[in-house]
Chains A and B, each alone.
Chain A
């Protein structure tokens, strides 16, 4: 028993994609203009056009948190927003929080508590934790765990993540 599945041809050819245009973004304090199609996500703009690959793509659907960046200090999933929507915003990525030679408090706490294994979700975890600190809401362990639960870690480094974030929360 076989069943054909056929598709209807598009009349008049396929729709031509929308052309690119200049998009001005302020990332980690530096303003630059990228040539982007309007449907380029902020995540892809960072990774593929701005050369900032520290922000990670884990699902492209806002389900994993690997692409978390700070926009005006607030944590967001950069895969769920378009780059053109952020011309007047202040975007901070993991590269803006510290460098390997000069780590931020959170980054150092993540290293000290071994709060990662493969490191792929880590920039998102740290940006999310920085956002959480900015929010000033998390104080107890239970609150930190709840408010860090939008960031998946398949290596299962959650115990270390909690310890690292708690250390910095307690210092504030």
Chain B
């Protein structure tokens, strides 16, 4: 009986007790001595210039330490390069407090620092600033003809592939065809934790920044570049993040402000943004999409065209992969994909859960539903007829793809066969009932990562890597991987993360953490295992004498021969006999390019949703969702399920609630708070079934994991939109679908 196999099981989160007891410390919760508080002042205008900052009268208030603005910020780095973080888009990054120019509403224009939070807030409210206001444009509708194809953009951006086949002619000759435009407004990440940075002044120009970020190294590099600090001068820490969803991928102005103040005042400083200011740090961009599709007589796709236009700021070309997915999710020989940006007087958008894919997926999957109806086919049957066995964008097979099995299991669980095709044909509880579906595809990627493993003489293992924990379960899955690799119980293993004193890990995004850091953790533990084996082989009578590492295994606290379990040594005995107090090993992991070269690496999913619509009131209630995900191997059934449950909640929010509404007259988001920017609450959430379809895939990475933080969100929004059509016969193509659009 093996008790140290942990991977694929469902252990509770190892950090759970800390979180439920309020003992996990987030960035704004390090109450270091002699802490000062900074409060950010935001621009009320959208475009123009600051004429004057009346800082002196505020500085004169007792308890106010300083007012920072462009008028008095000290010399900072000059070149754009110094402000560029790891995933900065093309263009010039925003520099807080750099110049009098205002380029977006709510731009941070000053920081008031005081002895207490209450004083800083009070003083910030009194700070007078004169502005010269200029005409602005924030409406994407005015830029329909001014779109441009962006250049290289940020890391990970792939311009759409060139057209294949004869997309125009094939569309013209199609038996059935559709053409429709889809839109959604801006959406904001809104993690529950406010962006906050506590900078601890350590003396001699050295600081520790407890910062809300999805990448401590990314922030450290940024601070070194901007403030001219050495690597030893600035340590960045984030051990718990109260939700990220992409908002913490780039360094935010909160960390800039807190570090500026700490360095200038030579004192520890905390800066916490308000919920309102959380709407000035990036968002999923307002996106317009045009879809054209046509079918052959047999219900296969004859042509597919997908064009997207979304907003960006005046200073950066924020890019995401919106349309590319449409060239790989279904088989089609004639495809044309287009992608353009338009500049507006807004802050740069920022990656938000399944960036690009979540947007493009709605267009594609609602259009697929419309096409199925036009061709007289059941939406599931239509997708099966167009199943892609290869990724036609790159003309390669998938390393693994069990989407068909996802369709089968989810449809059976959902009871799709009970659905009648005609809109308005199903009713229950005096309401219209609709059933819809949608599927999706996301990248399975791996980034270079490093980890360190240490084992003490009493058999306690510690593994470190500077990755993040924003709720995804990183602490838990890394503990499972490490414990299983060295045959230990979970309790004997501590995984530490989120500190630039640890080996470097990539920013936590792209659903790549399990694959990237997980592989590095496994490699570090294996490197440690090899050292332990050598120690075990030192005694002349070692039962493991002559054995290679591949021939042994760590199980139940023992090291034994794989083929002869009786030949074993107790791990703790080996360590204690060695006389060493501790053994350690470092390792890193990179994707195996040679192995991966011939394949397309992707995860897939499908979601089925049922809605009830009250025709008199236009209210929509999602009553059931079934989501099936094929994402390689699942490391922890419990935390993985939670990620997919959360994704479904996100998909529901995008379908029915989420929209940041811009008042173009002011160029300002009007619903920048939780009362008016609606996200789902408990009562909105129906029963959700999550199915994982296992894939064996040793091409993606040695662990066989593809990541699940993002793929689970795809399909859901479209499934709900399609269910609303099925219930009502009304096709709503601009999200969110609110009751006024149904009446």
A residues neighboring B (CB under 8 Å) = 1-7, 9-10, 13-14, 16-17, 37, 39-40, 44, 47-48, 51-61, 63-64, 66, 93-95, 97-101, 103, 107-108, 110-112, 114, 116-123, 126, 142, 144-146, 148-162
**Would you call B132 and A2 a contact (CB within 8 A)?**
yes
Partner of A14, one of B25, B61, B680, B687: B61
Knowing A6-B130, A39-B118, A117-B642, say if A51 contacts B31 (CB, 8 Å): yes
Interface string of B88-117 (1 = CB under 8 A from A): 000000000000000000000000000011
* Interface residues as binary, B227-241 with A (CB distance below 8 Å gives 1, 0 otherwise): 000000000000011
Q: List 27 A-B contacts (CB under 8 A).
A: A5-B133, A6-B130, A7-B54, A9-B128, A14-B60, A14-B61, A54-B21, A56-B193, A59-B275, A60-B274, A63-B673, A64-B674, A94-B20, A94-B21, A98-B21, A110-B16, A114-B638, A119-B15, A120-B242, A123-B20, A149-B683, A154-B190, A156-B650, A157-B646, A158-B682, A158-B685, A159-B687
B26 within 8 A of A: yes
Chain B residues closer than 8 Å to A119, beta-carbon distance: 15, 18-20, 24, 240, 242, 471
B540 at the interface (CB under 8 A from A): no
Q: Which residues of A contact B688 (CB under 8 A)?
A: 159
B residues touching A (Cβ–Cβ < 8 Å)? 12-13, 15-26, 28-29, 31, 44-45, 48, 51, 54, 57-58, 60-63, 116-119, 122, 126, 128-135, 190-194, 240-245, 272, 274-275, 470-473, 638-639, 641-643, 645-650, 673-675, 679-685, 687-688
Interfacial chain A residues near B645, Cβ < 8 Å: 156-160
Q: Is the CB of B682 within 8 A of A53?
A: no
Contact, CB under 8 Å: B22 / A2: no
Given contacts A37-B116, A44-B117, contact A116 B20 (CB under 8 A): yes
CB-CB < 8 A to A60: which residues of B? Answer: 274-275
Given contacts A3-B132, A59-B674, A60-B274, contact A40 B118 (CB under 8 A): yes
Chain B residues with Cβ below 8 Å from A145 are 682-683, 685
| A149 in complex: contacting residue of B25, B44, B58, B681, CB < 8 Å | B681
Nearest A residue to B650 via CB reads A156
Q: How far is the CA of A9 from the CA of B127 in the complex (A)?
A: 10
- A53 to B242: give the CA distance in the assembly, Å: 13
CB nearest to B22 among chain A residues: A54
Known: A53-B22, A117-B471. 18 other contacts (CB 8 A): A3-B132, A4-B130, A9-B128, A14-B58, A14-B60, A17-B62, A17-B122, A37-B118, A59-B673, A61-B674, A66-B192, A110-B16, A111-B12, A116-B19, A120-B193, A123-B20, A156-B680, A159-B687
Tell me whether A162 and B682 are in contact (CB under 8 A): yes
Q: Which residues of A contact B29 (CB under 8 A)?
A: 47, 53
Best-surrounded residue of B19, B45, B244, B639 (most CB of chain A within 10 A)? B19
Bound Cα distance A10, B128 (Å): 10
Shortest Cβ distance from A67 into chain B, in angstroms? 11
Q: Which of A107, A108, A152, A160 contacts B642 (CB 8 A)?
A: A160
How many angstroms from the CA of A60 to the CA of B470 in the assembled complex? 21
Instruction: Pick the 4 closest A-B CB pairs, nearest first.
Output: A54-B22, A156-B649, A120-B242, A117-B471
Q: Are B133 and A120 in contact (CB under 8 A)?
A: no
* Complexed CA–CA distance, A108 and B17 (Å): 8
Across the interface, do B646 and A58 meet the contact criterion of CB distance under 8 Å? no
Most chain A Cβ neighbours within 10 Å, of B15, B25, B646:
B646
Q: Are A9 and B51 in contact (CB under 8 A)?
A: no
Contact at B62–A16, with CB atoms within 8 Å? yes
By beta carbon, the residue of chain B nearest A156 is B649
- Shortest Cβ gap from A9 to chain B (Å): 7
B62 & A110 in contact (Cβ 8 Å cutoff): no
A110 to B674, CA, bound (A): 24
In the complex, A40 Cα to B121 Cα: how many Å? 11
Q: How far apart are the CA atoms of A85 and B682 in the complex, in Å?
A: 31
Chain B residues whose CB sits within 8 angstroms of the CB of A103 once the complex forms: 17, 20-21
- Shortest CB distance B408–A (Å): 24
Residues of A contacting B44 with CB < 8 Å? 5
Cβ-defined contact, A5 with B130, below 8 A: yes
Q: Are B23 and A54 in contact (CB under 8 A)?
A: yes
- Choose among B19, B44, B48, B682 the residue with the greatest number of A CB atoms under 10 Å from its CB: B682
Q: How far is the CA of A111 from the CA of B688 in the complex (A)?
A: 19
Q: From A159, which residue of chain B is reached at the shortest CB distance? A: B645
A47 cross-chain contacts in B, Cβ below 8 A: 29
Contacts of B58 in A (CB 8 A): 14
Give the chain A neighbours of B639 by CB distance below 8 A. 114, 117
Check B647–A156 contact: CB distance below 8 A.
yes
- Note all chain B residues with C-beta closer than 8 A to A122: 19-20
In whole angstroms, how far apart are the Cα atoms of A2 and B60 in the complex? 32
Contacts of A7 in B (CB 8 A): 54, 128-130
Chain A residue with the shortest CB-CB distance to B240: A119
Q: Is the CB of B648 within 8 A of A156?
A: yes
Chain B CB within 10 A, most for which of A3, A47, A119? A119
Contact B12 A114 (CB under 8 A): yes
Complex Cα distance, B514 from A86, in Å, reads 46
Contact between A126 and B20, CB atoms less than 8 A apart: yes
**In the assembly, what is the distance between CA of A56 and CA of B193, in Å?**
8
Q: Which of A66, A122, A126 has the most CB of B within 10 A?
A: A122
Q: In angstroms, how far is the closest chain B Cβ from the Cβ of A30? A: 15
Chain B residues whose C-beta falls within 8 Å of the C-beta of A162 in the assembled complex:
682, 685
- Minimum C-beta distance from A113 to chain B (A): 9
Residues in B neighbouring A37, C-beta threshold 8 A: 116, 118-119
Q: Point out the residues of chain B lying under 8 angstroms from A14, CB to CB.
A: 57-58, 60-61, 126
Inter-subunit contact B275/A155 (CB<8 Å): no
* A142 (CB) vs chain B CBs: closest residue: B683
